[in-house]
Structure 1
Amino acid sequence: MEMWKESQLRKILEAKDVKPAYEISLKLAQSLGFNFCAFSITSPVVMLHHDTVSFNNYPVDWNTTYEHGHFGDIDPILAHCNQSELPILWDEKFFANVPELRQTQKKQGLQFGWSQSIHDRSGLRSMFSLARSNEPITADEWYGHLGYAILINRHLNGLVAQKLRQRLPAASTPHLSTREIEILKLSADGKTACECSMILNIAERTVNFHVRSAIQKFGVNNKIAAVIKAVRAGAI
């Protein structure tokens, strides 16, 4: 059994697309004694629009009720996972303020479960959940499977992040003239407009002209901001 689980994990990590990776994860979850497996990912920074990713084998009625009832706005587990990466059991106390959601959840067979989230540096937040209809989840079982869940969640998150980066247009760096680059480099070294004019043997007003041009190209309000933008863009 252990060798089979290891082989399934390898297949998940070798998958290049999130859908087949999820499908293998579902099989692994079922072999571990869970009826349901869910993965979803959202971003408060980069809007996914119609590309929002969500995979689960929850009952269709539950998914429909969850969406139409706007349960996502009041789901305490989702709220927790949006704020923390700490895994959380579906304990009754977390649903104390939303009894209707909890009762509906139980009727659909989602009696016992736990969720774990990943927050990456790009702002993506993924949530991986395992659930079943009978038998509470013991502490030993929870800790025993936590490593699998974190590994799977990170891989699924990474697959989505990679695809999203491919779809986003590359950030464009404005074209800077040779003189603008020279002046921004000198400014980055702390040189004043007067000092730049002496070093480059041009009038100070010409230096200021090129500075204003760079400011306009980067869409910022001052020389310091233009220098920072140029450094981050690798222009100087």
Structure 2
Amino acid sequence: MDLFTFTECANQTHSLRALFELLVSCATEEGFSEVAYGALNFVEPLRLAEYPPPTVAVKWPPDWCDRYFKRKYHTIDPVVRRTPMLSRPFLWDQLADHYQLQPDERRVLDEAREAGLKHGMSVPLFGPLGRVSVVSFASASDDADPQDRIGHLNALAWQFHTAYGDIARPCNDGCERKVALSQREISCLRWVAEGKSSWETGMILEISENTVNFHIKNAMRKLGATSRIQAIVMAMRLNVL
């Protein structure tokens, strides 16, 4: 399922559980059937998980869920610990390569792999007031390649996170946000959403790469986004794209 289709389905979903099931279904199509969503430095008031914070919603093997929370692994999980320091999606295997993990942190990753959470990746999600959330994906298959799917899973995570917030914290009547993007800003965002680089977008629109970047930065500023993918997701949610 592509991002536009996911957005259309998410816009028609008014249940937190149905939205999470939609994310799991899409991730499973990509080969990553194990999914977790957590709020790391605040308590999300509406949670689907029967487990304590930071988990908001989770689809893991039941035995691993029980072990993870009974042993309070979330207090030593390197994904939970490192996510607030990372601005981009990351592979779990990279944590051991880039950081000097403690023995207990390595144990969590090793046991997760043995429990069927292989080739994991996580997407840091930053919101207002310094809030940090994360969506994690893992595969039960030895052949899964998260690096190959990281871009699409990143986009799905941001779209899910934004839609979840809309459902969990709905606006009062009359507070719907209005954002006026120029036609050129919309065109640039649309082509970037299709996976085009700034250079490729410039070739299509017959403008320079710097001009593309200028329009995208303007769109990000108007939308209050901190990244291109967040700007695309927000524009989709506002029916601008």
Q: Which bin holds the TM-score, normalised by the shorter protein? A: 0.5 to 0.7
Deviation of 1:144 after TM superposition, in Å, equals: 4.1
The 5 Å alignment of 1:85-100 reads 85-91=87-93, 93=96, 96-97=101-102, 98-100=105-107
The 5 Å alignment of 1:53-202 reads 54-91=56-93, 93=96, 96-97=101-102, 98-133=105-140, 134-160=142-168, 162=169
> d(CA) in 2 for partners of 1:91 and 1:31?
22
> How many residues align structurally?
160
Q: Which moved more, 1:98-107 or 1:109-118?
A: 98-107
Q: 1:83 to 1:21 in 2, by over 3 A?
A: same
Gaps of 5+ in 1: 167-236
Map Cα deviations across residues 116-163 of structure 1 (whole Å, 9 max, x no partner). Answer: 121211443221111102224253322343322222223224433x16
Q: 1:124 to 1:75 in 2, by over 3 A?
A: same
Structure showing greater relative contact order (alpha-carbon pairs closer than 8 Å, 6 or more residues apart): 2
Q: Are the aligned partners of 1:126 and 1:157 in contact in 2 as well (CA < 8 Å)?
A: no
**Bigger-Rg structure (1/2):** 1
Q: Are the aligned partners of 1:39 and 1:129 in contact in 2 as well (CA < 8 Å)?
A: yes
> d(CA) in 2 for partners of 1:10 and 1:50?
23
Gaps of 5+ in 2: 48-52, 173-241
TM-score by length of structure 2 reads: 0.57
Q: Are the aligned partners of 1:111 and 1:132 in contact in 2 as well (CA < 8 Å)?
A: yes
Q: Which moved more, 1:96-105 or 1:112-121?
A: 96-105
Q: 1:24 to 1:64 in 2, by over 3 A?
A: same
Structure 2 residue matching 1:91: 3-state secondary structure: helix
Deviation of 1:88 after TM superposition, in Å, equals: 1.1
Structure 1 runs of 4+ off > 4 angstroms? 47-53
Q: Which moved more, 1:60-69 or 1:135-144?
A: 135-144
- Percent identity between matched residues is 17
> d(CA) in 2 for partners of 1:104 and 1:153?
27
Q: Are the aligned partners of 2:122 and 2:135 in contact in 1 as well (CA < 8 Å)?
A: yes
Q: Which moved more, 1:8-17 or 1:53-62?
A: 8-17
> d(CA) in 1 for partners of 2:46 and 2:33?
28
Query: How well do the aligned residues superpose, as a CA RMSD in angstroms?
Result: 2.8
Deviation of 1:79 after TM superposition, in Å, equals: 1.3
